[in-house]
Structure 1
Amino acid sequence: MTDSRPADEDDVDADARALASTLRLRILRLCLDEPMTNREIATRLDRNPATVLHHVRTLADRGFLAAQPVRRGARGSREVPYLATRKSWRTPGDPSSSRILIDTFLEEVALVDPSDVVATRLGLRLDAVGHAELVERVQAVFEDFAARSPTPGGVAYSLFYALHEDVTRGPSAQ
């Protein structure tokens, strides 16, 4: 049986599968500002280098990581550092991607001192126009900061945003 889906749809599915892993999303974050070798990534994430290599290769094959010029390691071994291409920022998520993003956020924030986390939770009641305005304005802020070059010597931050219907509050009484 032949798959009748267009090739670009297959690419979208392959990209979604590549991003459907908390470990892969964490690898992309590590390689965002500086190229890192598989060994460096594995050490930073306290994971087996062979496992990490599988994930690095998947990300590189899909264009989420780009190999940088080969360098020599401490014992003269040949090492390939990888740098995130920022393709994941431009890749549309599938319906299950929100859960992966939340799980990745939870893994990362568990490593941080709770006093260093700035968190806000806000309940709103908006019509369709207000909801669209909120989404557009927040997305514009994200786009602005995503387009900026990293500040040399700056502190690395992670930002997570989620907007969802509050089904427990029910419809408005008015």
Structure 2
Amino acid sequence: MHEHRDATDAEARALASGVRLRILRATLDEPLTNREIAEALDLNPATCLHHVRTLVDTGFLEALEVRRGRRGAREIPYRATGKSWYTRSPVGASSMLEAFLAEIALVPEDERGAMTRLGLRLPEEQMEEFRDRLHALIMEFHDRPRDPDAQPWSFFLSLHPDTSQRRTGR
């Protein structure tokens, strides 16, 4: 089991891009070439390669053995290493939100699954319990073996101070 750790400056910069986070998601279960990543994310291949190289240089993506692609061209498939899951980045929140919004926009409304929004007012010790239990549940499912035949799902969670009461002066 890996321990969570703080990102280096280079790692934090790499994770500060919603596009890079989407590349990591796209290559999580299946290695993809730069061309395949660019097509999947609707990116220019040169722009995509810049992001891919940044992720490889920081260890978030790994280059696999060269293969022959269409018309016999040499292609390098890339696969996410999973390192980003264990790397805490101070600049990652906005890039995670950017990646989430780009991904959810592609999912039809009737396929989005459960969405919920909840306001809480708990004493600090109960908030800490809430955070710990959420983290334990997420890690339990994260650590289960991935079933290559199962439908892939994405999960986004944000716990933050509620600002709605601040506007009303309460």
User: TM-score normalised to the size of structure 2?
Assistant: 0.90
RCO (CA 8 Å, sep 6+): is it higher in 1 or 2?
2
Q: Which runs of 5+ in 2 are unaligned?
A: 1-5
In 2, distance between residues paired with 1:115 and 1:169? 31
Q: Which runs of 5+ in 1 are unaligned?
A: 1-8
Q: Which amino acid aligns with 1:13?
A: D
Counterpart selection for 2:99 from 104, 110, 119: 104
Match of 1:92 in 2: 88
Match of 2:24 in 1: 28
In 2, distance between residues paired with 1:164 and 1:93? 16
Superposed, 1:1-174 pairs within 5 Å as: 12-94=8-90, 96-117=91-112, 118-169=114-165
In 1, distance between residues paired with 2:103 and 2:21? 10
Q: Which amino acid aligns with 1:109?
A: I
Q: Which amino acid aligns with 1:165?
A: P
CA positional deviation for 1:167: 2.6
Q: Which amino acid aligns with 1:71?
A: R
CA positional deviation for 1:46: 1.2
CA positional deviation for 1:148: 2.1
Match of 1:3 in 2: none
4+ aligned runs moved over 3 Å, structure 1: none
In 2, distance between residues paired with 1:155 and 1:49? 28
Question: Alpha-carbon deviations, 1:94-147, whole Å to 9, x = none?
Answer: 0x3212111111111001001212200111111111111111111111112222
In 2, distance between residues paired with 1:146 and 1:83? 18
SS at 2:100 equivalent: helix
CA positional deviation for 1:61: 0.4
CA root-mean-square deviation: 1.7
SS at 1:132 equivalent: helix
SS at 2:71 equivalent: coil
SS at 1:75 equivalent: helix
Q: Does the Cα contact within 8 Å between 2:65 and 2:76 map onto a contact in 1?
A: yes
Percent identical residues:
51
In 1, distance between residues paired with 2:10 and 2:33? 24
Q: Which amino acid aligns with 1:154?
A: A
Deviates most, 76-85 or 141-150: 141-150
Instruction: Name which one, 1 or 2, has greater alpha-carbon Rg.
Output: 1
SS at 1:169 equivalent: helix
Q: Which amino acid aligns with 1:102?
A: L
